[in-house]
Homo-oligomer: A and B are copies of this chain.
Amino acid sequence: MIKVVIIGSGNVAYQMAKHCLANNQIELVAIAARNTSVLSSDFPKSNCVNIENIPLNADLYIIAIADNAIIDVSEVLKNASGLVVHTSGSTPMHTLKNNTKHGVLYPLQTLSKNKPIDFTTVPFCIEANTQQETDFLLNFAALFSKKVYKIDSEQRKKLHLSAVFVCNFVNHLYAIGADLCEQNKVPFEVLLPLITETAEKVQHISPKKAQTGPALRNDTNTINTHLEQLQSEMYKDIYQLITKSIQNGTEL
Interface residues of A (CB under 8 A from B): 67-68, 90, 108-110, 115, 121-123, 125, 147, 149, 151, 154-155, 157-159, 161-181, 183-188, 190-203, 206-208, 210-216, 221-222, 225-226, 229-230, 232, 234, 237-239, 241-242, 244-246, 248-249, 251-252
Contact = CB atoms under 8 A, between A and B. Distances in A.
Contact of A222 (B67, B149, B184): B67
B221 A190 contact: no
A175 B209 CA distance: 9
Contact of A178 (B123, B200, B206, B242): B206
Contact of A213 (B164, B187, B244): B164
A167 B157 CA distance: 27
Contacts of A242: 169, 172, 238
A70 to B, nearest CB: 13
Contacts of A213: 164, 167-169, 171
Contact of A201 (B110, B157, B159, B178): B110
A162 B149 contact: no
B215 A168 contact: yes
A157 B179 CA distance: 14
